[in-house]
Amino acid sequence: MAAKSLSTPRLGSSLSSPAFQSLRTYKFPIPFLSFSYSAQFLYSRNFSLSISSPHPRRAFTTSIRADSTNGSEPPRNYDFDLFTIGAGSGGVRASRFAANFGAKVAVCELPFATISSDTTGGVGGTCVLRGCVPKKLLVYASKFSHEFQESCGFGWNYEAEPKHDWSTLIANKNAELQRLTGIYKNILKNAGVALIEGRGKIVDPHTVEVNGKLYSAKNILISVGGRPFIPDIPGREYVIDSDAALDLPSKPTKIAIVGGGYIALEFAGIFNGLTSSVHVFIRQKKVLRGFDEEIRDFVGEQMSLRGIEFHTEETPQAIVKSSDGLLSLKTNKGTVDGFSHVMFATGRRPNTKNLGLEAVGVKLSKNGAVEVDEYSRTSVPSIWAVGDVTDRINLTPVALMEGGALAKTLFANEPTKPDFSNVPSAVFSQPPIGQVGLTEEQAIKEYGDIDVYTANFRPMKATLSGLPDRVFMKLIVCAKTNKVLGVHMCGEDSPEIIQGFAVAVKAGLTKADFDATVGIHPTAAEELVTMRTPTRKIRSTPSEGKTDSDVKAAAGV
């Protein structure tokens, strides 16, 4: 076995770590060399040894330094190398990886509930329990009504109108959530991570309090996510948020959804598909601010054709409940009444209240997000943060990436920055959206000269169904380098298709590479490798004043 240098992960292990404990009993494979040491030697000196690693998976590189300043006092012995507050996607990933690297790890999380509060949460976090997973299950449920309509053109007839039972859907969904939270608990258990039930509060840079008990840790990780934000307007007590919308006792008959982001559109599609009357109120002229402009236009048109009514440039001012129990929504343009439910999907806020962060010196942004550096370190050197609580890119796969990178930085001697370039994303609206890379507007600003390829067509299924469904696809290409800068799609299976093309964009492939790829026929996806003529060519100077060489360098050419 090759000799490895023993000096700590730069951001390091504590004396309590399994990596260090293994040194106490490790036998050197050199027969004529003997070595002994005392605890006092360890506490008073810095040392580095070159030894073979006994760890079957990796060689530990551990630097053991005295914590005391004068060398006479012993360093602090911590209960854990890493204590994680919050068992969501990022926290579980960081904790599991850290344990696999040999660290002693604990995670605290509130008890499970389908709706989170100050006293409830659940192992798995927002995505698994109150976000991506349950929402996607409801999306699946809601798509059947459209498929029933499609099937008629293919010869299917129904003697009676299909009926949907909301209570069955919710009961089955909740049973699945219970199963998933159990799986996540087992993942932590199998990795050797201690799971502590309760709300964590940071007492000092190395101490966390849970249910009145104190736990010390070399490093503390904040991964508590975020929660829905509802503006303070009259009648807000009648409003439901996205958590509650996933667990309603009955299906809405008529619902107002305030917000134009992806959460609003996804729930609009869900309730529309389940035959509720749906009205969406947005402050802007279009939905999905920040998305490609043509995608914004297209998805709004398609959702309108499915019966969703959009109220644009309307700001909510109050909600009023009438004597019959129905709700009215007052906006700057007037009042719409008769709603059984009013839902606000007006963004989320980092869940940082009552964690003791400010008291120990952790800096927060104006919206309460934890400020971190490129390695996810906060303003307090021993405290770290990943996931939505940092308000970087609030997506589950990004939180997973951040958590994995942090574990490598702390315990694998691999300082790793999360890579936020070319992150693919999806909106599970109906029709859904998939995208990766730059929008047309971003590409013009950054690169100047671009070629844009688009396709807008009727999918094969719609030729027999007779429904007005269409598909929109878009490629954005750097004119100087031929590199594909962005891929955007709205239509059936868009997220599944774009996941594959995200690999191509991440790899820096060119339009010529796309052109050289043989398509699969007949599919909608083949259009992305068969578009040959640009819809338009844009020639302009990048806003940053980049030269041709700058543009090529940015494109990796």
Any binding-site annotation on 264?
yes
The pTM of the full predicted model, rounded to 2 decimals, is 0.86
Q: Select from 132, 118, 227 the least CA-distant residue to 176.
A: 132
Evaluate whether 217 touches 360 at the Cβ level (below 8 Å): no
Q: 250 and 171 in one domain?
A: no
Any binding-site annotation on 43?
no
pLDDT of residue 76: 83
User: Is residue 423 included in any domain, yes or no?
Assistant: no
Taking the C-alpha atoms of residue 8 and residue 142, their distance in angstroms, rounded to an integer, is 53
User: Is residue 420 included in any domain, yes or no?
Assistant: no
User: Is residue 417 included in any domain, yes or no?
Assistant: no
Q: 201 and 260 in one domain?
A: no
User: Is residue 234 included in any domain, yes or no?
Assistant: no
Any binding-site annotation on 158?
no
Written as one letter, the residue type at 127 is C
User: pLDDT tens-digit profile of 206-225?
Assistant: 999 999 999 999 999 999 99
User: Is residue 512 included in any domain, yes or no?
Assistant: yes
pLDDT of residue 114: 82
**By 3-state DSSP, what share of the chain in percent is helix, strand and coil, each rounded to 5?**
30, 25, 45
Q: By residue range, what is the domain housing residue 208? A: 80-228+349-411
Q: Select from 486, 483, 491, 518 the least CA-distant residue to 502.
A: 486
Beta-strand ranges (E) seen in 101-167 are 105-109
Q: How many domains does the chain have?
A: 4
Positions of the chain with pLDDT under 50: 1-73
CATH classification at residue 533: 3.30.390.30
Mean pLDDT over all residues of the chain? Answer: 89
DSSP state of 66: -
Beta-strand ranges (E) seen in 399-507 are 425-427, 433-437, 450-457, 471-478, 484-490
Number of CB atoms found within 10 A of residue 117's CB: 10
DSSP state of 390: G
Q: 397 and 304 in one domain?
A: no
User: Is residue 424 included in any domain, yes or no?
Assistant: no
373's tokens? 């550096």
Residues serving a catalytic function are 521
Residue 62: which residues within 8 A CB-CB, separation 6 or more?
A: 6, 7, 8, 9, 12, 13, 17, 19, 20, 23
Element (H or E) spanning 4, and its range? strand 4-6
Q: In Å, what is the CA distance from 204 to each residue of 201, 213, 379, 543?
A: 9, 14, 13, 46
Any binding-site annotation on 361?
no
Evaluate whether 2 touches 52 at the Cβ level (below 8 Å): yes
Q: 91 and 66 in one domain?
A: no
Q: 440 and 403 in one domain?
A: no
Q: 194 and 92 in one domain?
A: yes
pLDDT of residue 543: 74
pLDDT of residue 116: 80
Which residues face 384 on adjacent strands? 221, 377
User: Is residue 233 included in any domain, yes or no?
Assistant: no
Any binding-site annotation on 200?
yes
The reply to whether omega before 415 is within 30° of 0 (cis) is no
Q: 139 and 31 in one domain?
A: no
Any binding-site annotation on 511?
no
Print burial letters for 303-338: b (CB count within 10 Å at least 16), e (below 16): beebebebbeebebeebeeeeeeebbbbbeeeebee
In a 3-state reduction of DSSP, which class is residue 253? coil
φ, ψ (nearest 5 deg) of residue 137: -60, -40
User: Is residue 86 included in any domain, yes or no?
Assistant: yes
pLDDT of residue 545: 65
Q: 57 and 20 in one domain?
A: yes
Q: 196 and 119 in one domain?
A: yes
Q: In Å, what is the CA distance from 201 to each residue of 65, 359, 383, 385?
A: 28, 11, 12, 14
Residue where one domain finishes, among candidates 345, 360, 384: 345
Evaluate whether 131 touches 191 at the Cβ level (below 8 Å): no
Residue where one domain finishes, among candidates 357, 376, 411: 411
Evaluate whether 126 touches 237 at the Cβ level (below 8 Å): no
DSSP state of 469: -
Q: 26 and 103 in one domain?
A: no
Q: 366 and 223 in one domain?
A: yes
Any alpha helices (H) in 274-374, and if so which ranges? 293-305
Q: Select from 90, 120, 79 the least CA-distant residue to 385.
A: 90
Taking the C-alpha atoms of residue 220 and residue 492, their distance in angstroms, rounded to an integer, is 43
Q: Select from 388, 174, 147 the least CA-distant residue to 263.
A: 388
Q: In Å, what is the CA distance from 532 to each residue of 92, 203, 454, 535?
A: 45, 61, 10, 9
pLDDT of residue 552: 64
Taking the C-alpha atoms of residue 203 and residue 214, their distance in angstroms, rounded to an integer, is 8
Size (the chain), residues: 557
CATH classification at residue 301: 3.50.50.60
Q: 73 and 95 in one domain?
A: no
Q: Positive or negative CA dihedral for 494, 495, 500, 503?
A: positive
Residue where one domain finishes, among candidates 50, 77, 104: 77
Evaluate whether 224 touches 233 at the Cβ level (below 8 Å): no
